[in-house]
């Protein structure tokens, strides 16, 4: 019975790590739009429990459409930048070996994995099959897609290394989580952008 309880808790922790990642990603966009006076309430965003079609909306669409190319690029990349900063912070905490509670350690690993996966899928899959935030890159400077793609490959390598260096008992679930998250995120972006 305790094993079932722990399994349910781990599933909930994994879900909250992923939801937090997506919510914070959208907060990055929201802050950027607020910076350009296209949004007033930065915490009012659309992030449903199933994650599909998450967005920083509501935003002033007319204001957003009137932004200059570099501003649209900035607003588009703000979510990915948040993912990268959070991943770096959690990676430093993880490598510092300060996480002693098993559940907190698990949540931090899955939060790290979620942020790396969110950013890497944008920079690789949705860079090749243009969707979501990478559309602003294409419109601003298509040549930027090349270094961003290689950054995405580096993030995929980091995901693999993270899984390899994680506790053996979680490696399979982390691998499955990363794969399902990667394909569902990029697929939903393509579906809701096209």
**pLDDT tens digits for the chain (194 residues)?**
677 877 888 889 999 999 999 999 999 999 999 999 999 999 999 998 887 788 999 999 999 999 999 999 999 999 999 999 999 999 999 888 887 788 899 999 999 999 999 999 999 998 888 888 888 999 999 999 999 999 999 999 999 999 999 999 999 999 999 999 998 888 888 777 65
Please give the DSSP secondary-structure letter assigned to residue 38.
S
Categorise residue 19: left if φ over 0, alpha if ψ from -120 to 50, beta otherwise: alpha
**Res 74: pLDDT:** 95
Q: Which domain holds residue 53?
A: 2-193
* Count of domains observed in the chain: 1
Mutual angle of helices 2-35 and 102-123, in 10-degree steps? 50
| Number of other CB atoms surrounding residue 176 within 10 Å | 10
For the full predicted model, state whether its pTM sits above 0.85: yes
Distance in angstroms (rounded) separating the CA atoms of residues 71 and 91: 29
CA gap 62, 9 in Å, rounded: 44
pLDDT at 194: 56
């Amino acid at each position: 019975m305790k094993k079932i309880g722990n399994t349910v808790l781990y599933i909930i922790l994994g879900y909250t790590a992923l939801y937090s990642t997506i919510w914070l990603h959208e907060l990055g966009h929201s802050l950027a739009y607020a910076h350009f006076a296209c949004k007033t309430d930065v915490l009012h965003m659309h992030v449903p429990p199933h994650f599909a079609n998450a967005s920083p909306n509501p935003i002033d669409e007319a204001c957003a459409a009137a932004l200059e190319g570099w501003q649209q690029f900035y607003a588009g990349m703000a979510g990915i930048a948040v993912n990268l900063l959070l991943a770096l912070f959690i990676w430093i905490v993880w490598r510092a070996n300060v996480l002693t509670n098993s559940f907190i350690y698990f949540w931090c690993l899955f939060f790290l994995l979620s942020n790396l996966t969110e950013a890497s899928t944008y920079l690789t899959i949705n860079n090749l099959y243009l969707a979501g935030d990478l559309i602003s890159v294409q419109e601003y400077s298509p040549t930027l897609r090349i270094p961003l793609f290689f950054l995405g490959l580096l993030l995929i390598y980091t995901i693999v290394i993270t899984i390899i260096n994680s506790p053996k008992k979680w490696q399979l679930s982390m691998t499955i989580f990363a794969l399902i998250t990667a394909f569902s995120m990029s697929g939903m972006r393509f579906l809701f952008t096209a």
